Amino acid sequence: MKNITIGITDCSKYYEYKSWIENEPAIKIIKLSYLHNNLSDIQKCDGIILTGGHDIHPGLYNKPEYLEFCNTKNIDERRDEFEWKVLEQTKELPVLGICRGLQLANIFFGGTLIPDNIAFGKTDHTKIEEADDRYHDVKIKSNTLLKKITVAEIGEINSAHHQSADDVGKGLSINATSADGVIEGLEWKVPQEKSFLLLVQWHPERMTNQESIFSKNIKQAFLNAVRDNIQ
């Protein structure tokens, strides 16, 4: 099996993502971070994972008035800028975006965010307690990449976010929603002749059941896409 290199963007729970991917054979990991000033390392990567974490500054999607709904102590504009540049350089690489990764990619393609789900009429999607993710059902749309990957119409996923996608970015399409209408997944609207792109609002890397189709299948689909892309 040929070795592949996966770039994973830095965050406070970076090692959860690293362990999740490193558990598979023939994989090297590169941490991508503005702290390392290593944007050039993308040239060594065969695939990219955009991780969760900080709120994204609403100025990035031209809604600075939304700042009052954000956790301002949890905004890192240097990270926003660095990962924006990561996306600019990944047009030929498979990308898996998780939680904040979905939100940043949606903004990158011209979309916007709901800055706080509860304040904007949605149910609570944050953790039940500081250490425990919330779990709820998600509905998968037919004729989507996510449906092909999971072979499911409905299932249970974990949840730990207070922001979510609002207006969908150009070229993207919704592949999953929660009961209250929160966007739980995005992908290419027309995937032909494009690199793999799957964006999920949940955290497959830390689901209690790592054999879940919403964790294991997503990881394998991403890694398969990476290997296929380098052949």
Predicted confidence pLDDT, tens digits, the chain (231 residues): 789 999 999 999 999 999 999 989 999 999 999 999 999 999 999 999 999 999 999 999 999 999 999 998 889 999 999 999 999 999 899 999 999 999 999 999 999 999 999 999 999 899 987 678 999 999 999 999 999 999 999 999 999 999 999 999 999 999 999 999 999 999 999 999 999 999 999 999 999 999 999 999 999 999 999 999 997
- Whether 22 and 39 have beta carbons less than 8 Å apart is answered as no
* pLDDT at res. 16: 97
- Whether 142 and 152 have beta carbons less than 8 Å apart is answered as no
4-229: CATH, from 3.40.50.880, 3.90.25.10, 3.40.605.10, 3.40.640.10: 3.40.50.880
Around 209, how many Cα atoms within 13 Å sit in the side-chain half-sphere?
A: 10
* pLDDT at res. 44: 97
Strand order in the sheet with 183-188: 27-32, 4-9, 47-50, 95-98, 197-200, 183-188, 172-177, 134-140, 154-159
* pLDDT at res. 17: 98
Q: Where do the domains of the chain lie?
A: 4-229
Q: Which residues pair with 70 in a beta bridge?
A: none
* pLDDT at res. 2: 81
- Whether 213 and 176 have beta carbons less than 8 Å apart is answered as no
* Enzyme catalytic residues: 99, 203, 205
Strands 183-188 and 172-177: antiparallel
* pLDDT at res. 91: 87
- Whether 164 and 115 have beta carbons less than 8 Å apart is answered as no
- Separation CA 124–CA 134 (nearest Å): 9
